[in-house]
Copies of this chain bind each other. A is one copy, B any other.
Amino acid sequence: MAGFFEGINKVPFEGPSSVNPMAFRHYNPDEIVMGKRMEDHLRFAVAYWHSFAWEGGDPFGGQTFERPWYPQDDMGRAKMKADVAFEMFDILNAPFFCWHDADIRPDQGNFADNLSTLDEITDYIGEKMQTSGTKLLWGTANMFSHRRWMSGASTNPDPDVFAFAAATVKSCMDATHKLGGENYVLWGGREGYETLLNTNLGQELDHMGRFLNMVVEYKHKIGFKGAILVEPKPQEPSKHQYDYDAATCIGFLRKYGLENEVKLNLEQGHAILAGHSFEHEIAVAVADDMLGSIDMNRNDYQSGWDTDQFPNNVPEVALAYYHILKSGGLKTGGTNFDAKVRRQSIDPQDLIASHIGGMDVCARGLKAAAAMIEDGGLEAALDTRYAGWQTDAAKDILNSDLESIANIVLDQNINPIPVSGRQEILENYVNRFV
Contact = CB atoms under 8 A, between A and B. Distances in A.
Contacts of A125: none
Given A353-B428, A405-B166, A159 B277 contact: no
B275 A421 contact: no
A336 interface: no
Contacts of A235: 275, 302-303
Max chain B C-beta neighbours (<10 A), residue from A57, A287, A416: A416
Interface stretch (A74-82, A87-95, A128-136, A381-389): A381-389
Contacts of A207: 398
Contact of A287 (B58, B169, B205, B386): B205
Given A157-B388, A361-B431, A382 B198 contact: yes
Given A61-B237, A196-B323, A277-B302, 9 more contacts: A60-B144, A147-B418, A150-B344, A159-B388, A159-B397, A195-B427, A274-B275, A304-B304, A314-B434
Nearest to A312: B427
25 contacts: A21-B429, A59-B236, A59-B306, A61-B147, A61-B150, A109-B415, A111-B406, A111-B415, A157-B386, A158-B388, A160-B414, A166-B409, A170-B402, A196-B319, A197-B378, A201-B283, A218-B402, A221-B401, A254-B255, A255-B288, A277-B302, A345-B424, A354-B424, A357-B427, A357-B428
Interface stretch (A36-44, A175-183, A239-247): A239-247
Interface string A341-379: 111111101100110110011000000000000000010
Contacts of A218: 401-403
Interface residues of A, number: 161
Contacts of A150: 56, 61, 64, 343-344, 418, 421
B247 A418 contact: no
A402 B215 contact: yes
A360 B326 CA distance: 27
A203 interface: yes
A132 to B, nearest CB: 24
A408 interface: yes
B200 A64 contact: no
Interface string A420-434: 111111111111101
Contacts of A122: none
B110 A420 contact: no
A168 to B, nearest CB: 8
B59 A237 contact: yes
